[in-house]
């Protein structure tokens, strides 16, 4: 069996085991026109968000309901170039290339204290040139998971920006 297939199967098995030990919420967005946002409660006082921006892009985040706090970015590296946290053209991807990044597997922390600890770890990793703290060490701080599938999209006539998008998601919080 090829190593890549074995790795993908092991990864899928690990995700499934984590789901069984978690509280999960599935959701489907309506067809979101460019600029329109979507928020979905996922339990524990948190919500998953697609924040519509000008130019046919949506940023992906998870955080406390009613705030703009983002508990996803800090445990979903890479930090500076993050096409996995945006739907639409950007980060050297076209709009169509961006929607082809599906499914997306992201992590998030679940509390303000976990967020602060993850930020400290990320800052320490950036200032430590020894490489003792890896991106995987930071990612593991995320005890929640968010899976997103792009289920439909349309482009503007130039095909440079998205006119609309629809998404299916599953957010799981560790018990």
Answer yes or no: is pLDDT of 137 > 70.
yes
Using pLDDT thresholds of 50, 70 and 90, give the confidence band for residue 2: low
- Domain locations in the chain as residue ranges: 23-174
Helix residue ranges per DSSP H, 93-175: 95-99, 112-127, 135-139
Q: pLDDT per residue over 45-54, tens digit each?
A: 999 999 999 8
The pLDDT assigned to 20 comes to 61
CA-based R_g, the chain, Å:
17
Q: pLDDT per residue over 108-117, tens digit each?
A: 999 999 999 9
Using pLDDT thresholds of 50, 70 and 90, give the confidence band for residue 8: low
The pLDDT assigned to 6 comes to 46
169 close to 145: Cβ distance less than 8 angstroms: no
Q: Choose among 64, 56, 110, 127: nearest CA to 86.
A: 56
Q: Choose among 110, 112, 106, 132: nearest CA to 121.
A: 132
Q: pLDDT per residue over 97-110, tens digit each?
A: 999 999 999 999 99
Q: Which helix (H) or strand (E) holds 107?
A: strand 104-108
Q: Would you say the pTM of this structure is higher than 0.95? A: no
88 close to 120: Cβ distance less than 8 angstroms: no
Task: Map residue 87 onto helix, strand or coil.
Answer: strand
Q: Which helix (H) or strand (E) holds 10?
A: helix 3-20
């Amino acid at each position: 069996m090829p190593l890549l297939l074995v790795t993908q199967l092991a990864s899928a098995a690990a995700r499934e085991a984590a789901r069984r030990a978690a509280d999960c919420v599935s959701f489907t967005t309506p067809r979101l026109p460019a600029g329109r946002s979507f928020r979905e409660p996922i339990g524990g006082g948190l919500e998953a968000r697609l924040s519509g921006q000008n130019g046919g892009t949506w940023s992906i985040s998870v955080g406390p309901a009613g705030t703009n706090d983002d508990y996803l970015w800090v445990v979903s590296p890479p930090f500076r170039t993050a096409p996995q946290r945006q739907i639409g053209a950007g980060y050297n991807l076209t709009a169509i290339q961006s929607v082809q990044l599906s499914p997306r597997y992201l992590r998030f922390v679940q509390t303000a204290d976990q967020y602060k600890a993850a930020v400290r770890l990320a800052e320490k990793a950036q200032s430590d040139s020894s490489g003792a703290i890896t991106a995987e060490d930071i990612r593991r701080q995320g005890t929640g998971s968010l899976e997103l599938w792009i289920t439909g999209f349309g482009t503007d006539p130039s095909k440079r920006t998205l006119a609309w998008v629809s998404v299916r998601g599953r957010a799981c919080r560790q018990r």
